[in-house]
Amino acid sequence: MTVTTLSEGHGLEAVHDLVDALAAAPDLEAIYREAIRGLTAALRVDRASILLFDPDGVMRFKAWQGLSDRYRAAVQGHSPWAADARHVRPVAVEDVAAEASLGALRDTILAEGIRALAFVPLERERLLGKFMLYSDRPRRFQERELRLAETIAALVSFAIERRRGEERLAQQAAALARSNAELQRFAYASSHDLKEPLRTIHSFVQLLQQRHAGRLGPESDEFLGFIVDGVRRMEGLIEALMAYARVDWDAPVTTRVELADVVAEARANLKAALDESGARLEVGDLPTVVGEARQLVQLLQNLLSNAVKFRRRSPPTIAVTARRADDAWLISVADDGIGIPAEQRARVFEVFHRLHAREQYPGTGLGLAICKKIVERHGGQISVESEEGRGTTFTFSLPAA
């Protein structure tokens, strides 16, 4: 009978190394390998294995040291514990040759040259599997050794569960990204296809209007007007929807962009509206940021056009300013317009959410949804502050260059 004694220090050192190795393990396979390494080092055994329940409820070898294929095939699936067992304790067999309870497996084990073994459960909220320790001579695993093995089992079980959780999350995130991308493509493709028949309707209704105006009776003329108006609005909606979908697959966000140029371009695109309202646009010192120029122009353009559209008086005053906050810039677009009621503020970024009748203020309700998507694609956030009847300030963050 061999009685191996381990110094406390040795076990502790092995556990310490294992903790580091488990933290650095890139995947489950590495965790299994490190578990075997830690176990054999801590308990000074030559042979060990780790078996885990697969989803089908069968315990299978995941990693091993010093076991033949034949042996593994013969014993795989045998377990002293049922899959739903709880709070199980290690089982040690001091001398396989003298252990009748092993039954038919005993000869297989002896043929592999194993004379003593220990089963150590891997358990978290449920039983995950087990460690096996083997000795080629009869050996009494001492209580202290088994406790050390249990400690290692607890560390490894934790690492396995955490890693499995991470993999599940990564899979879910990938599936979500895939379905999102599909949805975007679908939205884009269907919007695009809708444009074609709409164009046909548009041209023929216009033709009807031009050729038969005044001949169909005043009511019909009015109806035709409604149709043309509806078709135009639908075209606007489709354009906006396509712009919304496009944000996701436009060029990756990598270039340095001068925000002053962005504002200048947005301003040029909005020249008619700005001139018509006589808007006073004050632009402060603006930084260089990291982003996609075209999207940033769209962002500023949407915010500026809202500031002009929802003005309280003419001329409106609009200010674009920037301030630094850690690694990011905070950009604000402030107006002195009609303001947004407190209970509506959170919802203005939702797709198609508008606070006014179309006759009062035209629009599709996608402008701010697009802004939000653009800012978030740049790794930033957008928020709104407002005082009803006084003005509104939109603030978004962008990574500094």
Ligand X SMILES: Nc1ncnc2c1ncn2[C@@H]1O[C@H](COP(=O)(O)OP(=O)(O)OP(=O)(O)O)[C@@H](O)[C@H]1O
Number of H helices, E strands in the chain: 10, 12
Q: How far is the CB of 280 from ligand X (least distance, A)?
A: 15
Residue nearest to Mg ion (CB): 367
Q: How far is the CB of 316 from Mg ion (least distance, A)?
A: 14
Q: Which does 34 bind (CB under 5 to 8 A by kind): Mg ion, ligand X, none?
A: none
Q: How many residues would you count in the chain?
A: 401
Residues numbered 312 to 371 that lie near ligand X (CB under 6 A) are 335, 337-340, 348, 353-356, 363-369
Q: How far is the CB of 296 from ligand X (least distance, A)?
A: 16
The span from the CA of 254 to the CA of 70, in Å, is 56
Nearer to ligand X, 113 or 363 (CB): 363
Nearer to Mg ion, 299 or 331 (CB): 299
Task: For residue 386, give the nearest of 330, 312, 314 by alpha carbon.
Answer: 312
Nearer to ligand X, 29 or 350 (CB): 350
Residues of this chain that interact with Mg ion (CB under 5 A) are 306, 367
Q: Residues 219, 258: contact at Cβ < 8 Å?
A: no
From 36, 41, 120, 307, residue interacting with ligand X (rule: CB under 6 A): 307
Q: Which does 89 bind (CB under 5 to 8 A by kind): Mg ion, ligand X, none?
A: none
Q: Which does 301 bind (CB under 5 to 8 A by kind): Mg ion, ligand X, none?
A: none
Nearer to Mg ion, 306 or 397 (CB): 306
Amino acid at 121: P
Report if residue 298 touches ligand X, rule: CB under 6 A.
Answer: no
What single string gives the DSSP state of each residue in 186-255? HHHHHHHHHHHHHHHHHHHHHHHHHHHTTTS-HHHHHHHHHHHHHHHHHHHHHHHHHHHHHTTTSS-S-E
Q: Residues 64, 101: contact at Cβ < 8 Å?
A: no
Q: How far is the CB of 160 from Mg ion (least distance, A)?
A: 51
Nearer to ligand X, 8 or 343 (CB): 343
The span from the CA of 322 to the CA of 339, in Å, is 21
Nearer to ligand X, 149 or 369 (CB): 369
Report if residue 392 touches ligand X, rule: CB under 6 A.
Answer: yes
Nearer to ligand X, 130 or 354 (CB): 354
Q: Which does 90 bind (CB under 5 to 8 A by kind): Mg ion, ligand X, none?
A: none
Report if residue 123 touches ligand X, rule: CB under 6 A.
Answer: no
SS3 273: helix
Rg (CA), the chain: 35
Amino acid at 112: E
SS3 400: strand
Residue nearest to ligand X (CB): 367
How far are the Cα atoms of 195, 209, 235 from residue 226, in angstroms, in the given order?
19, 11, 14
Residues numbered 368 to 387 that lie near ligand X (CB under 6 A) are 368-369
The span from the CA of 50 to the CA of 41, in Å, is 15
The residues that touch ligand X, with contacts defined as CB under 6 A, are: 240, 302, 306-307, 310, 335, 337-340, 348, 353-356, 363-369, 392
